[in-house]
Amino acid sequence: MSGLLTFGETMGVVSAEGIGALDHARGFTFGIGGAESNVAIGAARLGAPVTWLGRVGDDASGDLIARRLRAEGVAAVVIRDPSFTGLMVKHRRTGALLTVDYHRAGSAGSRLAPSDVPADAVRAAAIVHVTGITPALSDSARAAVFQAVETARAAGVTVSVDVNYRAKLWSRFDAAPVLRDLVARADIVFAGPAEAALFVDGPPLDGLAALGPAEVVVKDGARGCTALIDGERHAVAAPDVAVVDPVGAGDAFVAGYLADRLAGAQPAARLATAIAAGAWAVTVPGDCEGLPTRADLAALASATDDVLR
């Protein structure tokens, strides 16, 4: 293989319809979600060759994950595990506050191990992408991430890291040294300002770059992004869009950047695609359902009306 290789936990996602406390919800939708699989689907929709690897339970949620990834054109290496597929529950407590709860302790995805990630697949990839979520799941999952990263580095394969700190999975004190070590091994790093502040001092771009990555991208939501890529600084504003569901926007951003990098685009073009992909994703409910295609991004860029005819 060549292209993008990523791995981690993908979960079933239960989303309450409407706004208000969960106990008053009367309708729900069920989908899939997970940072790494969101990136995989997003990059595949933009034309990149992508492989995702992970453990899922031998249950209906695991079946759905396998089908959905393969239907999206992702080469999914699905390892069946006797434990259950993890679950995410989302509800919009108010119009401005989305709450996400996890049910993943002891899940199939948390049982990922170094032996699950073949060294040959890592060496054959153009980019290996990992997140700071997987090391929080278990000791074996953390070992899998660091082993894959070291294998990639030894083979000259580009390592991409999205910090993706999740306070519900581990404390900032436990996370900080692990995330710092992971970023120090990366060629490309993505982080939000608050995430960077967990383990670097001063301006996030400079602090992250000082750890070693040649490509540092700070995602800042509706404020757009800043980047320091091979010594050159960039700043890109985000377009003004109506936010329906912010979950998955950061993954869409990463997918856009990595897909363009694989296609040989220059840094400014990569960042423009990333910003557009993130903006598109927030306008649609779901973790991965609204990830855009190239045609979607072109429509966003050229739209002068709210109806396409």
Active site residues: 251
Phi, psi of 175 (to 5 degrees): -75, -40
Long-range contacts of the stretch 173-179 (C-beta < 8 A, 24+): 175/132, 175/136, 178/132, 178/135, 178/142, 179/132, 179/135
DSSP 8-state symbol, 284: S
Give residues with Cβ within 8 angstroms of 171, minimum separation 6: none
Name the nearest CA neighbour of 250 among 14, 22, 42, 24: 42
Long-range contacts of the stretch 291-300 (C-beta < 8 A, 24+): 291/38, 291/41, 291/42, 291/45, 291/248, 291/251, 291/252, 291/255, 292/42, 292/45, 292/46, 292/252, 293/45, 293/46, 294/46, 294/47, 297/46, 297/256, 297/273, 300/239, 300/276
